[in-house]
Amino acid sequence: MTDTRMEITAELVRDLLRGQHPDLADHPVRLGARGWDNQLWRLGDDLAVRLPWATRSADALLRKEHAWLPALAPRLPLPVPVPQRLSEPSERFPRPWIVTTWVPGAPADRAPVTRGAEAADVLAGFLTALHRPAPEAAPVDGRSGRGGPLADLAEQFTEQLTSATELRLASDPDAVRAVWEDAVDAPAWPGPALWLHGDLHPANVLTADGTFCGVIDFGDLCAGDPACDLAAPWILLPDGAFGRFHDAYEPTADDATLRRARGWAVLRALSGILIGEAGIHGRPGGKPTWGPPAHTALRRLIATAR
């Protein structure tokens, strides 16, 4: 988090709508969520307003979603927040913001999957549909290296593992390091750059009735190695559903891709553990609900090293 000084209220959202989208200004407005990059405000029953508030990079992420997601959304088998209107900065609010469709459901960090087999099939179907060759003009994630070589993130891994170890949050750091090193040593992705969500952690995947019902926050949408997204089953699915996911995902991932996916899962798990710990202690940017699924994922990953 970099700057949360800007106060966003329902009245501000209504004023912004009156200025740029007056036909929507009479819809009821209520807070939906405060995310890492954006605040989400419900707009009536079917729409939402997303406004950047906490990171400097959020502006570019919103513009990227508006540019690319409307063309991708129709082929995806789960509901996603499709941008409807892009709103430009103004004196009232000096940053761009968007109006999107509303996706109902509860974040998986608050309502975990309970129907593992069905959820594995749903997640596999979503990623099979998304992971298609991207055009040359597709964005590449220069912010966090998603979809690129894991070796480029070695410093991030070391810092996270060191922090988790010092806080006694990683029970077997040597095993964690072994999974990471095996992933880094795996052969690189030989195929074309594929479309990736890039940020499939439990707060960005929605559930209802024990299974997945939607995917949100495509700000890190990019093209690259699918192993980045194939880390998701480690942290999203309950025990016993991992193999079913890989049986359903097409085309079947080869051994090298699965090894790289474990490396991405290690990064995701360590990050979630540290964010969860910060949330427990009330520190800025902390989210206590991120800890449990991240600890579960790290336990599973350690077991593969042993």
pLDDT digits (tens, 9 = 90+) for 5-36: 578 999 999 999 999 999 999 999 999 988 87
> Could you tell me which of 304, 223, 235, 237 has the C-alpha nearest to residue 264?
235
Tokens 């490396």 — which residue? 263
Question: Could you say which residues of the chain have pLDDT below 70?
Answer: 1-5, 142-143
Model pTM score: 0.94
Nearest by Cα to 233 from 208, 269, 190: 269
The pLDDT score that the predictor gives to residue 1 is 43
pLDDT value at residue 142: 60
Phi, psi of 16, rounded to the nearest 5 degrees:
-65, -40
pLDDT at 143: 65
pLDDT, residue 285, reads 83
pLDDT of 5? 58
| Residue 160 CB coordination number (10 Å) | 20
Q: Which residues pair with 101 in a beta bridge?
A: 47
Q: Two tokens at 130?
A: 């998304």
User: What is the phi-psi region of residue 303: left when phi exceeds 0, alpha when psi lies from -120 to 50, beta otherwise?
Assistant: alpha
H or E stretch covering 58: helix 58-72
One-letter amino acid of 246: H
What pLDDT is attached to residue 2? 43
Phi, psi for residue 223 in degrees, rounded to 5: -115, 140
Distance between CA 275 and CA 264 in Å, rounded?
A: 17
pLDDT tens-place string over residues 67-103:
999 999 999 999 999 999 999 999 999 999 999 999 9
Q: What are phi and psi of 56, to 5 degrees?
A: -70, -25
